[in-house]
């Protein structure tokens, strides 16, 4: 397995597991919570066939990466991404994030210069600011996130069962666009993630990306399903076109949060058109 060291916790290195395949212009795929880089399988094979170099990695705490008890904030996640980009010496890279992974893309473009980045894509995005406040009335009430954290702490596997139901809108799409086996596979992946990381990431969702979004200066694709039950589209995707200077915004009618699986053909074609 391939690993990059991004830090240290006590006596042990913190390592990120990554995959690096293909040739051509590089693409980095950044996964959603609480999965791993393997959740991009429908996009990875498609982009490889289209002639791209495709790199995916497991966020700290998830998949085959180290599972420390610290560093579950977007500044650290973005530093991890920066280490990956620099270590692999990626140039003219396209950063594609799904769900929580859109936070790394946005913070990277807000925190670091974009000399190495050619394009960005935010799929089912978490920016610009998910938390409802007096100056952000479109956000989601803090009680929702408190409820999620309490449910994770009380019974993480039980919480994940309901979470993935809404991740795919199973009541609508099971047996049509997603199988019970795919649902179970992702539940299995999620239960093997760090319990600490799974819990602490919820706090990171409340990061304010409004200044980062303003600083994005590369062509950016935003894609979101209108039936997203995880990240409400009115709080997230629909706010981005007026905030990002060079933004192509597409709504996928009736698609759930995990549109990279249920609507993979449409998503892949939109990505390819945008990238090329």
Only one residue has tokens 């002639």, namely 51
From CA 84, how far away is CA 87, in angstroms rounded? 5
Catalytic residue among 17, 31, 257, 263: 257
From CA 96, how far away is CA 48, in angstroms rounded? 14
Catalytic residue among 99, 194, 235, 263: 99
Decide: residue 166, CB within 10 A, 0-12 exposed, 13-18 middle, 19+ buried.
Answer: middle
179 belongs to the catalytic site: no
Closest listed residue to residue 219, CA positions, set 128, 121, 105: 121
113 belongs to the catalytic site: no
- Rounded (10°) CA dihedral 187, 189, 194, 200: -60
User: Sign of the C-alpha dihedral, residues 67, 72, 74, 79?
Assistant: negative
First-residue to last-residue Cα distance in the chain: 31
228 belongs to the catalytic site: yes
Q: Which residues are catalytic?
A: 99, 228, 257
């Amino acid at each position: 397995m391939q690993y990059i060291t991004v830090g240290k916790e006590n006596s042990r290195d913190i390592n990120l597991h990554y995959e690096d395949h293909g040739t051509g212009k590089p693409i980095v795929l950044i996964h959603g919570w609480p999965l791993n880089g393997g959740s991009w399988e429908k996009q990875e094979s498609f982009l490889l066939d289209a002639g791209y170099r495709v790199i995916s990695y497991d966020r700290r705490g998830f998949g085959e990466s180290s599972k420390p008890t610290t560093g579950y904030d977007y500044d650290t996640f973005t530093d991890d991404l920066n280490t990956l980009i620099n270590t692999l010496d990626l140039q003219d890279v396209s950063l594609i994030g799904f769900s929580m992974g859109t936070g790394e893309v946005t913070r990277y473009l807000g925190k670091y210069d974009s000399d190495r980045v050619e394009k960005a894509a935010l799929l089912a995005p978490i920016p610009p600011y998910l938390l409802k406040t007096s100056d952000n009335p479109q956000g989601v009430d803090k009680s929702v996130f408190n409820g999620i954290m309490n449910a994770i702490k009380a019974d993480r596997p039980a919480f994940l069962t309901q979470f993935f139901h809404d991740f795919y809108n199973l009541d609508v799409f099971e047996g049509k666009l997603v199988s019970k086996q795919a649902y179970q596979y992702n539940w299995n992946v999620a239960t093997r993630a760090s319990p600490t990381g799974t819990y602490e990431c919820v706090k990171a969702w409340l990061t304010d990306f409004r200044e980062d979004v303003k600083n994005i200066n590369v062509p950016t694709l935003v894609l979101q399903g209108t039936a997203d039950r995880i990240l409400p589209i009115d709080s997230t995707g629909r706010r981005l076109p007026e905030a990002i200077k060079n933004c192509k915004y597409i709504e996928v009618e009736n698609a759930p949060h995990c549109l990279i699986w249920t609507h993979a053909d449409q998503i892949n074609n939109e990505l390819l058109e945008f990238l090329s």
